[in-house]
Amino acid sequence: MSLLSFQNVDAFYGRAQVLRGVSFEIGAGDRVAVLGRNGVGKTTIVNTFLGIASLGAGEIRLAGKPAGRIRTYTAARAGISVVPQGRRIIGALSVKENLVLGSAVERRGAWTLDKVFDLFPILRERQDTPGTALSGGQQQMLAIGRALMANPALLVLDEPSEGLAPVIIDELAEVFVRLAREGTSLLLIEQHISLVRRVAQTYHLMSKGAVIESGRLAELSDEQLKRHVAV
């Protein structure tokens, strides 16, 4: 089944057009990377299905159905959870409260606070501390845990490696692969080549708001990849 699809999507911030005719489809079990340099429109893909950027033309389908009017919870209810770029942890809430926030959408599934704590034991230890008192890596784990609390069919990760040490990126890669094996589809927006290689199977490459190339990662050399990402 198709979890998320864009068909010829144009997207805007006010009158400024950012996405131009973007098309792609993500199905159950897919592990898809979106690649491209800074400012090409990767996050705007996310912002468009979240209703933050406006859809000018084309169609977005969530869980196989035309999205219609997109509200705050539209994507989450359709089974798409986002780990946003920059993590967006709420500092006024504890670790535990940040996680509980993720379950507000009330989608049924296997994820509970306890299961998230089993996945990231450090969050159990620090559950009563303010979310923003955590290290960068721990905040990323919290953002991932919060997204899982909504029981997504598709987990969208927007530059999860940003600002993190290589050893933490390694740990996250293992977690993403494990989630994929257990049945969660992944959309990974990244510029970190080895993370992309470990986690994703197919890619869409963006330039100036458009998808300029798509294919299987195994068929793309590191040299070709490096030409299109910043690191």
Ligand X SMILES: Nc1ncnc2c1ncn2[C@@H]1O[C@H](COP(=O)(O)OP(=O)(O)OP(=O)(O)O)[C@@H](O)[C@H]1O
Binding site for Mg ion (CB under 5 A): 42-43, 85
Distance between CA atoms of residues 118 and 36, nearest Å: 34
- Does 39 help bind ligand X (rule: CB under 6 A)? yes
Task: Give the one entry of ligand X, Mg ion, none that residue 215 binds, where binding means its C-beta sits below a cut-off of 5 to 8 angstroms depending on kind.
Answer: none
Task: Give the one entry of Mg ion, ligand X, none that residue 18 binds, where binding means its C-beta sits below a cut-off of 5 to 8 angstroms depending on kind.
Answer: ligand X
Task: Give the one entry of Mg ion, ligand X, none that residue 86 binds, where binding means its C-beta sits below a cut-off of 5 to 8 angstroms depending on kind.
Answer: none
Task: Give the one entry of ligand X, Mg ion, none that residue 31 binds, where binding means its C-beta sits below a cut-off of 5 to 8 angstroms depending on kind.
Answer: none
Find the binding residues for ligand X in span 161-220 (CB under 6 A).
Answer: none
Sheet holding 210-216, edge to edge: 80-83, 154-158, 185-189, 31-35, 202-207, 210-216
The piece of 39-47, 88-96, 110-118, 137-145 that touches ligand X (CB under 6 A) is 39-47
Of positions 13, 163, 215, 222, contacts ligand X by CB under 6 A: 13
- CA 1 vs. chain centroid, Å, equals 19
Contacts of 120 (CB under 8 A, 6+ apart): 138, 141, 142, 144, 145, 175
Of positions 5, 11, 31, 43, contacts ligand X by CB under 6 A: 43
Name the DSSP class of 229. Answer: S
* CA 43 to each of CA 5, 34, 132, 156: distance values in angstroms, whole numbers, following the listed order: 16, 10, 22, 10
Provide the binding-site residues for ligand X, judged by CB under 6 A: 13, 16, 18, 36, 38-44, 85, 159
